[in-house]
C-alpha cells in the first residue's frame, strides 16, 4: 500500500514538472505573440485611410473606423435565407429557416441598436431567432449577446473554452465603446467538436479550431438558397494554432479538418475583410456591391468555390510551415 502511494506521489511530481516546463515555454511564446499582435493592433488603429479607399478598409483600420457612423451600414440580403445585419467591422448574419432563425455573431456595443434596427428593416421578427452562435470569445463577436438574447429569447451558443473567456471578459472595458464595461451573457448552450444543430432545413455541424482562441468555432452545412439554386456554405474557418509547438500541431489539425470538408461553395465570413490571408475576389462588402448590380441569370458573386478551396489549401500550407519552424526551434 505504502509503495503504491509513493509511486503515485513521484508520478504526480514528474507530471507536475513536465507540465510546468511546458507551460513556461508556452507562456513565453504567448507573451511574444501577444506583443506582436498588440503592435499590429496599434498600427491598424493609427493607420490613415482616405475616403476613396474601399469601405472594408475604412471599416477596419485607422481612427475613422472607430466612428459609429462609419460602422452603421444598411442591412442586405445575400441569399434568400441569409441576411447581413451587422456593422461594417464584424459580420453579424441571420440564417432563416421556416422553423426559426439562427444568428451568427453579435458584434459589440455601441452597435447593438443598429443590429436591432437592421433586423427589423429586413422584416425579421427578433423573437423568431432561436440561436445566437458566437464564433469565439472576443468582445467584437459576443459583446452584443446579452442584449440580443434579451431581445430575442434565443439560446446563446459557444464552446466551453470560450464561455470561460466570455465570463472573464465580463465587466472589462469595451475598446469600441469608450471603455464602458463589457456586458456578457451567462453561460448558456455549450457545444463541442462534431455537435449538430438542427433547425428547419439547416443541419449544421460544429467544429472547433483552437488557436485564435481555445474554443474558436467554424460551422459546416449551411444550406443557402438563391431562387431554385441551393449552395453549400461554411461559416468561419479558424486559423493557425496558438503559439508554440503544441499550438502549431493543433494548427495543422485545424487546417486538415477544414480541408476535409468538400464541396464548399460559399464562404460566410466572420468579418467583411479577411486579414491577413486575403480572399481574392473580395470580402463581404466588395461582393455585396457586385450583388446589388447583379442582373437576372448572372452568377451569384458570393458563390466562389475556387477561392474557398485556395484559401483552405493555403491555410494548410501555412500551418505546416509554422509547424516545421516550431519543430526546428525545438531541436536547437
Ligand atoms: Zn478574435
* pLDDT value for 61: 84
- 54-331 CATH: 3.60.15.10
Residue with cell 448572372: 298
Q: Please enumerate in sequence order all residues whose Cβ is within 8 A of that of 311, keeping only pairs 6 or more positions apart, or say none.
A: 237, 267, 274, 277, 279
For residue 142, the CA-to-ligand 1 centroid distance in Å is 10
For residue 227, the CA-to-ligand 1 centroid distance in Å is 34
What is the residue-level pLDDT of the chain in tens, covering all 332 positions? 333 333 333 333 333 333 333 444 556 666 766 677 777 778 878 888 888 887 878 888 888 888 888 888 999 999 999 999 999 888 899 999 999 999 999 999 999 999 999 999 999 999 999 999 999 999 999 999 999 999 999 999 999 999 999 999 999 998 888 889 999 999 999 999 999 999 999 999 999 999 999 999 999 999 999 999 999 999 998 888 999 999 999 999 999 999 999 999 999 999 877 654 556 677 888 889 899 999 999 999 999 999 899 999 999 999 999 999 999 999 98
Q: Cα 180 to the chain's mean position, in Å?
A: 23
Residue with cell 500500500: 1
Whether 240 contacts 251, CB under 8 Å: yes
**Helix or strand or coil: residue 327?**
helix
For residue 138, the CA-to-ligand 1 centroid distance in Å is 5
Residue 230 corresponds to which cell in the numbers above?
A: 441551393
For residue 233, the CA-to-ligand 1 centroid distance in Å is 21
For residue 92, the CA-to-ligand 1 centroid distance in Å is 14
* pLDDT value for 12: 33
For residue 180, the CA-to-ligand 1 centroid distance in Å is 19
Strands (E), 70-118: 76-79, 82-84, 93-97, 100-104
Per DSSP, the residues of 121-165 read HTT--GGGEEEEE-SSSSHHHHTTHHHHHHHH-PEEEEEHHHHHH
In this prediction the pTM is: 0.87
For residue 8, the CA-to-ligand 1 centroid distance in Å is 41
* pLDDT value for 77: 97
For residue 310, the CA-to-ligand 1 centroid distance in Å is 22
For residue 15, the CA-to-ligand 1 centroid distance in Å is 32
Q: So where are the chain's domains?
A: 54-331
Amino acid at each position: 500500500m505504502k509503495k503504491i502511494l509513493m509511486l503515485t506521489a513521484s508520478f504526480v511530481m514528474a507530471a507536475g514538472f513536465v507540465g510546468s516546463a511546458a507551460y513556461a515555454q508556452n507562456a513565453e511564446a504567448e507573451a511574444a505573440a501577444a506583443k506582436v499582435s498588440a503592435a499590429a493592433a496599434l498600427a491598424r488603429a493609427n493607420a490613415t485611410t482616405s475616403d476613396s479607399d474601399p469601405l472594408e478598409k475604412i471599416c477596419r483600420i485607422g481612427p475613422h473606423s472607430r466612428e459609429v457612423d462609419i460602422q452603421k451600414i444598411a442591412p442586405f440580403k445575400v441569399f434568400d435565407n441569409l441576411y447581413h445585419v451587422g456593422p461594417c467591422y464584424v459580420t453579424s448574419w441571420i440564417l432563416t429557416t421556416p422553423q426559426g432563425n439562427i444568428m451568427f455573431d453579435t458584434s459589440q456595443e455601441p452597435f447593438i441598436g443598429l443590429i436591432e434596427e437592421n433586423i427589423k428593416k429586413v422584416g425579421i421578427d427578433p423573437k423568431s431567432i432561436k440561436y445566437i452562435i458566437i464564433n469565439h470569445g472576443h468582445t467584437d463577436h459576443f459583446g452584443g449577446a446579452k442584449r440580443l438574447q434579451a431581445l430575442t429569447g434565443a439560446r446563446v451558443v459557444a464552446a466551453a473554452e470560450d464561455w470561460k473567456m466570455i465570463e472573464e471578459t465580463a465587466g472589462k472595458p469595451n475598446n469600441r465603446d469608450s471603455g464602458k464595461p463589457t456586458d456578457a451573457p451567462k453561460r448558456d448552450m455549450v457545444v463541442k467538436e462534431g455537435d449538430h444543430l438542427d433547425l428547419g432545413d439547416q443541419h449544421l455541424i460544429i467544429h472547433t479550431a483552437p488557436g485564435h482562441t481555445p474554443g474558436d468555432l467554424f460551422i459546416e452545412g449551411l444550406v443557402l438558397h438563391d431562387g431554385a439554386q441551393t449552395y453549400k456554405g461554411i461559416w468561419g474557418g479558424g486559423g493557425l494554432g496558438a503559439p508554440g509547438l503544441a499550438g502549431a500541431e493543433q494548427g495543422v489539425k485545424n487546417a486538415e479538418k477544414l480541408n476535409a470538408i468538400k464541396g464548399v461553395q460559399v464562404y460566410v465570413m466572420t468579418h467583411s475583410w479577411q486579414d491577413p490571408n486575403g480572399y481574392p475576389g473580395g470580402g463581404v462588402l466588395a461582393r455585396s456591391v457586385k450583388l446589388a448590380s447583379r442582373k437576372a441569370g448572372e452568377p451569384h458573386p458570393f458563390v466562389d468555390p475556387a477561392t474557398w478551396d485556395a484559401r483552405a489549401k493555403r491555410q494548410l500550407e501555412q500551418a505546416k510551415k509554422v509547424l516545421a519552424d516550431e519543430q526546428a526551434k525545438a531541436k536547437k
